[in-house]
Amino acid sequence: MLRVGMKAPDFTLQDKEGRPVSLSDFRGRRVVLYFYPKDNTPGCTRQACAFAGAYQAFRERNVEVIGISKDSISSHQRFADKYNLPFILLADPELQAIQAYEVWQEKKLYGKVSMGVVRTTFLIDENGILEQIMPKVKPDTNASEILAALAASENTKGGST
């Protein structure tokens, strides 16, 4: 079971252009890693658009935003183009990172049980350590909650925004 303080599982997945991206590529920077169920669905679109709207605030803090779902590279490309998403979307059809981060879980919807991605966000520090784990986040407030957590940690560390 993943816990705050543990090393974040590394992975290499393809982005919407088909280029390989590894978590370890971002050493020296904090990373917001968010897992979501499916491109172009209402909740996932609201979550992605909220991250897009807050993206400049993340960049100002030298924080990279990465979204992962099991959708294909082409699906991510259409999703990013349709909503002008400026951050990295990674395709994980083989569930490599999804399973490593333990977000592939049993879900219940209208009495039906199935396996799927549980919307979860991880804040990873500059050294690749899990700094915060936010399970079952709300799509509309996830980005602002992460920004608030970043601001709070900057204040406690005496950093500036």
Concatenated DSSP letters for 6-39? SBPPP-EEEETTS-EEEGGGGTTSEEEEEE-S-T
Task: Please answer whether residues 4 and 130 qualify as being in contact, where contact means their C-beta atoms are separated by less than 8 angstroms.
Answer: yes
Active site residue 49: no
CA distances, 41 to each of 10, 27, 48, 77, 139 (Å): 27, 32, 10, 15, 11
Looking at residue 160, its pLDDT comes to: 46
Looking at residue 111, its pLDDT comes to: 87
Query: Is residue 161's pLDDT more than 60?
Result: no
- pLDDT band at 44, cuts 50/70/90? very high
**β pairing state of 88-91 and 104-109:** unpaired
Give domain 28-157's CATH architecture. 3-Layer(aba) Sandwich (3.40)
Interval 55-103: pLDDT, tens: 999 999 999 999 999 999 999 999 999 999 999 999 999 999 999 999 9
Averaged pLDDT for residues 40-65: 95
DSSP calls for 110-138? TTEEEEEE--EEEEE-TTSBEEEEEET--
Q: Where are the domains of the chain?
A: 28-157
DSSP annotation of 108:
E
- Identified catalytic residue from 13, 44, 66, 124: 44
Tell me what percent of the residues of the chain surpass a pLDDT of 70: 96
Averaged pLDDT for residues 5-21: 97
